[in-house]
Each structure stands twice: as C-alpha cells, then as structure tokens.
C-alpha cells in the first residue's frame, strides 16, 4: 500500500501566510474601493427618494402606446409610438451601415494584425527603406491619377447619353483586355509577361475611368429618380449618395493603392538589388536608400505632428530632425550587414495591434461627440463613430481568429512554391470565412445597442429622442422607446444566433 508523503511544515507555513496576505490585500482593496466610489445607504433609504423612485417605475410600467382623441374618442398610435417606430428603424440601419463598412475595412487590417502571418516577414534594410521612400510617391501619383481620370469623366458629364456610350465602350475594352490574358507563369516563360502586365495596367486605368463615368451618370440619374419615383424616391437618393461617395473617395482609394503598390514593388526590387550586388555596391546602395528613407519617414511624422499641434517653427519638427536622423541612420547602416534580414513584419504587426487597441479603448460615445462637431447632429455622425469602433473591435477579433487557424494548409501551400498572396487566398481565407461572418453578425447586434447610447450626444437614432424624453421627465414616452429597444435587441440576438449556429 502506497502512502502520500507529508508535505514539509515550512511549505505549509508559507502557503498559509500567502493566503492570509492575499486576503488582507483584497480586504484593503475593497475597503478603499468603497471609500473611493462613496457608497452610502442613507440616500436610497431616504423616504422622499424612495417615493420618487417608485413614481418613476410606475410611469415606466405604463408606456403610452396608444392615445384616444378627446373629441371623437378614436384610439390611435400615440405620437411617442410613431416616433419610436421611425427612430428604431433608423437605429437598425445605422448599425447595419456601420457594421458593413466597418467589416469591409477591418478585414485587410486583420491580416496586418495577425502575428502568425506577419512575424515571418523579413527584409534587408535597403528593401525596407526603398519601400518607405516609395510610399508617399506612390500615394501622390495614385491620387493625382484619380483626379485626372475624374476630370476626364467630368468632360462629358453634361451629356448623359454620351456618358452612357462612353461607359459602355470603356467597360467593353476592359473586358476584352482581361479576356486577352493576365500575367502568369506560362506567359512569363514565353516572354510575354510584360505585354500581359501592360494589358492589366491599361485595363485597370480604363476600369477606373469607367467607374468615374458611371458615378457621374449616377449623380444626374439619382437626382432625377428622387423627383419622379415618389414614395420610392429613396432609391434615387441612394444612387446619388453612392455616386457622390465614389467621386469623392476615388482619388483617396487610388492613393492608398498606389502607396501600397509602390511600397511592395520598392521592397521587392530593393531586396533583389541587394542580393545580386557585391558587398561594396550593396553597402553603398543601403547607405543611400537609408539616408532617403529615414528623411522621408521622419519628415512625414513631423509633418503630422505639425498639422496636429500647429508649431510656431515647423522646420524644427520636420526638416531639421529629418536631416539629422537621416545622417545618423546612414552612418549606422554603413556598419551593418547589408543582407541581414530585419523583422519588418513584426514591427507592422505591433503598430497595427497598438492602433487597434488604442481605438478600442475610446468609447463610441466619445467618438460620437467628435464626429458631431465635424458633420453636425444626425445619424451620419453616429454611423462614423460606430464604423471606427467596429474596425478596431472586429480587426482584433479577426486577427485573433487568423492566429488560431490550422497551420497545416499554410505549410502545404508554401511547400509548393506559392507566394504569400496565394497562401492567404488558398490556405487562410477558407478557414476564416465562417467565423468572420459570425463575428460580423454579432457586431451588428452590438452596434444596435451602441447606437442607442450614441444618440444621447446627438448621433441620431432612437437614443436622441429617448434622451430628450428623459430630460423632460416624460417617462411614459421614454418607456415606449426602451421597450422597443429591448424587443429589437432580443430579436436580433435570436436571428443572429440562429444564423451563427448554421454557419459554424
């Protein structure tokens, strides 16, 4: 028969003292907490306060759903009920719009914030600095190209029939160019990759021009449809707003795309140059691009700080620090191994996660206050606040989902010689689609509840009128809105849970 050995008395004594110490610390912590938040039972036990509390509860328990006409005695929906129905629909669609836009923007951010995807990404110092230097150049060229294409589309904006014909011709040309073939391994082996790449670039430019033409036509058609469709005029307004967003956002989107392409190709060709050159030439190239890249990076950071704080002497925060830092980094780069890989992926991952965490720490209510100052009172400010918080929240959830995927398919795809983009498309995306959809539905549920709170600061939705009724002590009317919010949240929770159960 085996016996359990007795634990040493000294170990038992330490365990007892540790438990006593933890208990004392917790006691002191909660005692200080009670003192800090000023918990007192005298106020809730006050008879006058109890009477006021009971009166509010009785009013909330008697919502004003209907009201009778004093003259005819007819019963109809109360004004509070009609307002509630209008505002609750607005609240649902605010949450839907914020969730949709936030999800679309959170997906690419989640890949940058996924450690298992970004940590293996390394590059020599020269490749990193070429990418940094090319980033603003590509962004500027992309935005200028977008402006030029929109100007070209605007030349025929006054003639709708000509716009339609031009859009059809341009989109047909895009279809024919893409049908002719994209650059692939076979075309590269035959020496035709440059022609295929040129066709792709021309097709992309024509597609953007066609999008500008369609947007110009949509602005005109939207105004016309809004006036002739009557009760369905909201369809025309949607076409107008969507077209207006395209015209305003197209240069910015092209700028971001140009910056991304410039950084990607700059890093690729910078790395190839370093690997092909001899040691002396590679070192000279590294020092030169480090000088330029550091100057661009520091100058950009200083310019952003100057825009935010409006310094009296901007050059002290832009030109001078950029020059000093560039010289120092160039000297340091001269002593480093030119082909040494640096963990640039981990840096991008850390920056992305830090930004997401910072945005998540700011409540949508605070964001709503800021956006109300920018775009005035109304649902638009609430949508912008919810969208920004949705990007941060879903970006973190999505990235953690990527970090938890099975690594087997990734290793299998990479073993075939596939690129990182092909690995993401064929090994990562199939594993994350179901949880992404589930998280999106859950976020819509959260945004419906958040949009109620944002309304208290003028962000639109039912929260705006709810706060007005509470401030005016109209508790019966406020009760109608609170019940509507509860029913909508329960319904959305039930629907989203059923959909998530089918997907996962």
The CATH number of the domain holding residue 102 is: 1.10.3720.10
Query: 148 vs 182, which has greater pLDDT?
Result: 148
Nearest to 274 by CA among 345, 329, 341: 341
Nearest to 371 by CA among 382, 360, 363: 382
Same domain? 354 vs 502: yes
Q: What would the mean pLDDT of 496-502 be, rounded to a whole number?
A: 77
Q: Is the pLDDT confidence value at 83 over 80?
A: yes
As a whole number of angstroms, the distance between CA 429 and CA 135 comes to: 27
According to DSSP, the β-strands at 66-68 and 75-77 are antiparallel
- Number of helices and strands (H, E) in the chain? 19, 2
Same domain? 484 vs 354: yes
Q: Is the pLDDT confidence value at 43 over 60?
A: yes
Lowest mean pLDDT among 63-67, 141-145, 294-298: 63-67
As a whole number of angstroms, the distance between CA 475 and CA 210 comes to: 54
The pLDDT value recorded for residue 8 is 55
DSSP annotation of 208 reads: H
Same domain? 373 vs 225: no
As a whole number of angstroms, the distance between CA 349 and CA 38 comes to: 42
Same domain? 365 vs 431: yes
Q: Is the pLDDT confidence value at 4 over 70?
A: no
287 HSE (CA, 13 A, CB side):
14
The domain boundary, picked from 260, 281, 306, lies at: 260
Helix 193-228 / helix 233-276 crossing angle, nearest 10 deg: 160
Same domain? 379 vs 479: yes
Same domain? 242 vs 364: no
The pLDDT value recorded for residue 3 is 53
| pLDDT tens digits, 471-489 | 888 888 888 888 888 888 8
Q: Is residue 151 part of a domain?
A: yes
b vs e for 232-246, b when ≥16 Cβ sit within 10 Å of the residue's Cβ? eeeebeebbeebeeb
SS3 for 67?
strand
Q: Is the pLDDT confidence value at 250 over 90?
A: no
Cβ pair 97, 242 in contact under 8 A: no
Lowest mean pLDDT among 12-26, 96-110, 186-200, 431-445: 186-200
**Is 399 buried (19+), middle (13-18) or exposed (0-12) by CB count in 10 A?**
buried
Same domain? 352 vs 489: yes
pTM: 0.82
| pLDDT tens digits, 336-392 | 888 888 999 899 999 999 999 999 888 888 888 888 888 888 888 888 999 999 999
342: β partners: 123
The pLDDT value recorded for residue 193 is 56
SS3 for 263?
helix
Q: Is residue 45 part of a domain?
A: no
The pLDDT value recorded for residue 393 is 92
Q: Is the pLDDT confidence value at 6 over 80?
A: no
Same domain? 473 vs 383: yes
- Give the number of other CB atoms < 10 A from CB of residue 364: 27
The domain boundary, picked from 242, 260, 278, lies at: 260
Per the structure, the count of domains in the chain is: 2
Same domain? 141 vs 111: no
Nearest to 327 by CA among 281, 285, 295: 295
Q: Which residue has the tokens 């995807």?
A: 117
Same domain? 101 vs 203: no
Q: Is residue 60 part of a domain?
A: no
| pLDDT tens digits, 161-207 | 777 787 788 878 877 776 765 554 444 444 445 676 677 777 777 77
As a whole number of angstroms, the distance between CA 97 and CA 89 comes to: 12
The pLDDT value recorded for residue 190 is 44
Same domain? 392 vs 364: yes
Query: 129 vs 238, which has greater pLDDT?
Result: 129
Helix (H) or strand (E) holding 179: helix 160-179
- Give the number of other CB atoms < 10 A from CB of residue 493: 15
Nearest to 446 by CA among 381, 402, 483, 392: 392
Q: Which two tokens stand for residue 164?
A: 């339609």
Q: Is residue 334 part of a domain?
A: no
Q: What would the mean pLDDT of 231-259 be, rounded to a whole number?
A: 85
DSSP annotation of 6 reads: P
Q: Is residue 2 part of a domain?
A: no
The domain boundary, picked from 260, 292, 308, lies at: 260
Q: Is the pLDDT confidence value at 453 over 60?
A: yes
| pLDDT tens digits, 412-422 | 888 888 777 78
Domain span including residue 216: 134-260
The pLDDT value recorded for residue 169 is 82
- Mean pLDDT value across the chain: 84
The pLDDT value recorded for residue 103 is 93
- Give the number of other CB atoms < 10 A from CB of residue 393: 21
Q: Is residue 446 part of a domain?
A: yes
Same domain? 353 vs 470: yes
Contacts of residue 59, Cβ cutoff 8 Å, sequence gap at least 6: 475, 476, 479
Q: Is residue 372 part of a domain?
A: yes
Q: Is residue 40 part of a domain?
A: no
Residue % of the chain over a pLDDT of 70: 92
The pLDDT value recorded for residue 329 is 93
The pLDDT value recorded for residue 38 is 75
As a whole number of angstroms, the distance between CA 133 and CA 263 comes to: 8
Nearest to 364 by CA among 460, 442, 451, 488: 451
């Amino acid at each position: 028969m085996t016996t359990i050995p007795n634990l040493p008395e000294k170990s038992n004594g330490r365990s007892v003292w540790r438990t006593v110490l933890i208990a004392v610390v917790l006691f002191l912590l909660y005692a200080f907490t009670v003192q800090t938040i000023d918990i007192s039972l005298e106020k809730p036990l006050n008879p006058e306060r109890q009477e006021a509390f009971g009166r509010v509860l009785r009013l909330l328990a008697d919502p004003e759903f209907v009201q009778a006409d004093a003259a005819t005695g007819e019963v109809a929906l109360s004004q509070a009920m009609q307002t509630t129905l209008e505002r609750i629909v607005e609240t649902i669609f605010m949450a839907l719009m914020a969730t949709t836009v936030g999800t679309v923007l959170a997906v690419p951010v989640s890949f940058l914030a996924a450690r298992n995807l970004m940590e293996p990404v390394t590059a020599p110092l020269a490749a990193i600095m070429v990418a940094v230097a090319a980033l603003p150049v590509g962004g500027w060229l992309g935005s200028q190209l977008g402006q030029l294409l929109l100007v070209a589309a605007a030349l025929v904006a006054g003639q709708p029939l000509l716009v339609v014909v031009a859009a059809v011709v341009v989109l047909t040309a895009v279809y024919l160019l893409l049908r002719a073939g994209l650059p692939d391994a076979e075309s590269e082996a035959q020496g035709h990759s440059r022609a295929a790449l040129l066709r792709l670039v021309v097709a992309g430019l024509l597609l953007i021009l066609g999008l500008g033409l369609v947007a110009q036509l949509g602005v005109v058609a939207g105004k016309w449809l809004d006036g002739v469709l009557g009760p369905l005029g909201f369809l025309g307004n949607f076409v107008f707003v969507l077209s207006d967003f395209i015209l305003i956002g197209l240069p910015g989107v092209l700028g971001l795309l140009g910056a991304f392409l410039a950084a990607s190709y700059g890093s690729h060709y910078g790395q190839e140059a370093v690997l092909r050159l001899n040691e002396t030439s590679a070192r000279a190239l590294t020092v030169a691009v480090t000088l330029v890249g550091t100057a661009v990076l520091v100058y950009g950071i200083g310019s952003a700080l100057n825009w935010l704080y409006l310094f009296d002497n901007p050059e002290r925060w832009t030109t001078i620090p950029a020059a000093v830092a560039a010289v120092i980094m160039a000297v340091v780069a001269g002593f480093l191994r030119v082909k040494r890989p640096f963990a640039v992926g981990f840096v991008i991952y850390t920056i992305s996660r830090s930004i997401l965490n910072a945005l998540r720490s700011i409540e949508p209510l605070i964001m709503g206050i800021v956006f109300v100052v920018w775009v005035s009172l109304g649902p638009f400010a609430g949508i912008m606040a919810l969208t920004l918080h949705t990007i941060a929240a879903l970006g973190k959830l999505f990235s953690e989902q990527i970090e938890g995927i099975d690594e087997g398919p990734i290793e299998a795809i990479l073993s075939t010689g596939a690129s990182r983009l092909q690995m993401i498309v064929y090994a990562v995306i199939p594993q994350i689609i179901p949880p992404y959809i589930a998280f999106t539905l859950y976020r819509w549920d959260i945004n419906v509840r958040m949009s109620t709170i944002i309304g208290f600061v003028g962000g639109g939705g039912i929260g705006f009128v709810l706060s007005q009724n509470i401030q005016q002590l109209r508790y019966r009317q406020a009760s109608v809105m609170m019940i509507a919010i509860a029913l909508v949240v329960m319904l959305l929770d039930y629907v989203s849970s059923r959909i998530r159960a089918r997907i996962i």
